[in-house]
């Protein structure tokens, strides 16, 4: 099956092979705890990987929680998803995860990228569905993740607890690096022909073939578009993260060979001497349903969620979350040339049903599906070539209805009109809610987060502090 990705001739140089596995989609919403901790992020990401049970879960019955429900194995859990708005790096996230959308049970990492939208000729936007990659089983969307050993056979050092990094820059709208450098080949797109991954032209390694471009393809792709996202594979050996989330890692030196980054023999620079597994992600966008609606002026109609119609702003984020030393063990012992998951005895393989059952509900109170008048958040289309800028003011939802946020603003009362803010001004606070017709009954003090707020025989307060809501755990 691997031959549908890379010809065997190309694989021959591999010394220690790789892991290749699907992770289904966990959630798609405006979250980005690396770049905008504690806030709703400017644009939508699709997130894959691990999820975490609420570490604050008490035996108390009905609690004020800023969380959401997740149903797994017939039990109702209130989860405090570890992909929350802050992600404390000191926690051992892997030990707190209750499920993962990745094929290996040990992998509770999170991976995320921007999502693609189709801009209809009438100006509306709709999300481009994601489909499973070839030979990955039947994950629900998501991505294919690779951890690749260097061609040299040099031993890799697995990422550590607390490690995180970002590749790419969502504000870019033009090429800024040498396309033959490793960095210049890190983020590419493959325009699939009608046979998808089986197309004879699609047999080259990612980022190298005649179907691959650094910008979004300028033609309708009969089989869809695959994003290829390579992370830097050299580490400074010291910092688990840096303020820009990227200067603790670097690309190998030298010019990338024709066979691409998979087979890059480049050495790590002296500033970043520690060789990491080459982390690589593929995302398959099912652009096929939109090909018949291609604009008559020939312009390509796909945009990323940050208002990027070029593809240069494509980016990927990684937060390590493998259990214990499982990734290191896998890198040391799993040598299947195609990275086929069952061949890696060091790890536990989950079924498609297992990974597809692990999902999170959207917490940002906005619509992101169906035809939309604009991209969610404040993401006007900025075609460049200048770097994109953040709009000075923005009336998009900036809090969640649950975690860490305030209760969503109620819709305006019928008959009132809302005056749009003048550009550059900040939003006035929302109008106060209409006065209740009955005077409110005297209220018990608001129940703090994680406090009990109901249950059989409960006589205490039932109103939660702002930012949390009363949710049922059980009746007692």
Ligand X SMILES: *[C@@H]1O[C@H](CO)[C@@H](O)[C@H](O)[C@H]1NC(C)=O
Q: Tell me which residues touch ligand X (CB under 6 A).
A: 52, 55, 80, 82, 84-86, 88, 91, 120, 122-124, 371, 403-404
Contact 76, 7 (CB under 8 A): no
Nearer to ligand X, 55 or 254 (CB): 55
Nearer to ligand X, 87 or 284 (CB): 87
Distance CA 78, CA 403 (A): 12
Nearer to ligand X, 110 or 356 (CB): 110
Distance CA 189, CA 215 (A): 7
Q: What angle do CA 27, 31, 35 make, to 5 degrees?
A: 140
Nearer to ligand X, 339 or 401 (CB): 401
Q: Is the dihedral of CA 367, 130, 375, 114 positive or negative?
A: positive
Distance CA 176, CA 361 (A): 37
CA 409 to chain centre: 27
- Number of residues written out for the chain: 476
Q: Tokens 């910008």 appear where?
A: 215
Nearer to ligand X, 101 or 151 (CB): 101
CB of 199 to ligand X, least distance (A): 29
CB of 87 to ligand X, least distance (A): 6
Q: Tokens 């289904």 appear where?
A: 24
**What letter would DSSP give residue 160?**
-
Per-residue burial over 410-442, b = 16 or more CB atoms within 10 Å of its CB, e = otherwise: eeeeeeeeeeeeeeeeeeeeeeeeeeeeeeeee
Nearer to ligand X, 264 or 468 (CB): 468
Contact 182, 261 (CB under 8 A): yes
Contact 281, 49 (CB under 8 A): no
CB of 19 to ligand X, least distance (A): 26
Distance CA 145, CA 142 (A): 10
CB of 1 to ligand X, least distance (A): 37
Q: Tokens 């998009």 appear where?
A: 396
Nearer to ligand X, 14 or 290 (CB): 290
Contact 223, 279 (CB under 8 A): no
CB of 298 to ligand X, least distance (A): 20
Nearer to ligand X, 121 or 269 (CB): 121
Closest CA relative to residue 29, chosen from 40, 44, 39: 44
CB of 110 to ligand X, least distance (A): 12
Closest CA relative to residue 109, chosen from 119, 94, 124: 94
Contact 104, 92 (CB under 8 A): no
CB of 89 to ligand X, least distance (A): 10
Nearer to ligand X, 406 or 426 (CB): 406
Distance CA 233, CA 150 (A): 9
CB of 16 to ligand X, least distance (A): 33
Nearer to ligand X, 427 or 466 (CB): 466
**Virtual CA dihedral for 468, 377, 97, 345, nearest 10 degrees?**
170
Contact 224, 196 (CB under 8 A): yes
Nearer to ligand X, 31 or 230 (CB): 31
Token readout for 123 is: 């100006």
CB of 121 to ligand X, least distance (A): 8
CB of 124 to ligand X, least distance (A): 4
Token readout for 90 is: 């000191």
CB of 363 to ligand X, least distance (A): 10
Token readout for 239 is: 């910092």
């Amino acid at each position: 099956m691997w031959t549908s990705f890379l010809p065997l001739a190309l694989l021959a140089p591999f010394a220690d092979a790789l892991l290749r596995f699907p992770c289904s989609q966990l959630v798609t919403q405006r979250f980005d705890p690396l770049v905008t901790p504690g806030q709703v992020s400017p644009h939508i990401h699709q997130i894959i990987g691990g999820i975490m049970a609420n570490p604050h879960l008490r035996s108390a019955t009905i609690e004020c929680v800023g969380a959401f429900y997740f149903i797994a194995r017939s039990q109702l859990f209130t989860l405090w998803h570890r992909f929350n708005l802050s992600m404390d790096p000191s926690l051992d996230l892997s030990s707190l995860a209750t499920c993962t959308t990745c094929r290996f049970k040990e992998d509770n990492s999170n991976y995320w990228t921007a999502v693609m939208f189709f801009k209809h000729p009438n100006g509306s936007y709709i999300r481009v569905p994601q489909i499973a990659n070839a030979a990955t089983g039947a994950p629900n969307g998501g991505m294919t993740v690779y951890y690749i050993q260097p061609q040299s056979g040099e031993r890799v050092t697995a990422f550590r607890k607390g490690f995180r990094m970002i590749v790419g820059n969502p504000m870019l709208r033009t090429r800024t690096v040498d396309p033959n450098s490793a960095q210049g080949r890190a983020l590419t797109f493959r325009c699939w022909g009608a046979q998808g991954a089986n197309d004879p032209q699609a047999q080259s390694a990612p980022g190298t073939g005649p179907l691959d471009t650094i910008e979004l393809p300028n033609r309708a792709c009969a089989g869809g578009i695959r994003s290829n996202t390579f992370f830097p594979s050299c580490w400074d050996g010291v910092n688990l993260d840096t303020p820009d989330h990227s200067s603790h890692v670097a690309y190998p030196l030298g010019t990338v060979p024709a066979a691409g980054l998979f087979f890059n023999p480049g050495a790590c620079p002296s500033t970043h001497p520690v060789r990491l597994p080459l982390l690589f992600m593929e995302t398959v966008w099912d652009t096929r349903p939109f090909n018949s609606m291609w604009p008559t002026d020939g312009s390509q109609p796909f945009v990323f969620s940050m208002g990027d119609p070029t593809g240069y702003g494509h980016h990927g984020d990684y937060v390590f979350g493998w259990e214990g030393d499982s990734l290191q063990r896998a890198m040391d012992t799993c040598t299947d040339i195609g990275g086929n998951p069952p061949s890696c005895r060091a790890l536990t393989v989950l079924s498609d049903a297992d990974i597809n059952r692990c999902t999170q509900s959207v917490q940002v109170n906005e619509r992101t599906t169906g035809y939309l008048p604009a991209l969610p958040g404040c993401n006007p289309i900025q075609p460049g070539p200048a770097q994109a800028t953040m709009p000075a003011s923005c009336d998009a939802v900036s809090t969640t209805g649950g975690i860490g946020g305030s209760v969503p603003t109620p819709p305006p009362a019928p008959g009132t009109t809302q005056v749009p803010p003048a550009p550059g001004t900040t939003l006035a606070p929302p109008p106060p809610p209409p006065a209740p017709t009955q005077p409110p009954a005297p209220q018990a003090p608001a129940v703090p987060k994680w406090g009990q707020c109901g249950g059989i025989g409960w006589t205490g307060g039932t109103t939660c502090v702002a930012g949390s809501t009363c949710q049922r755990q059980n009746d007692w």
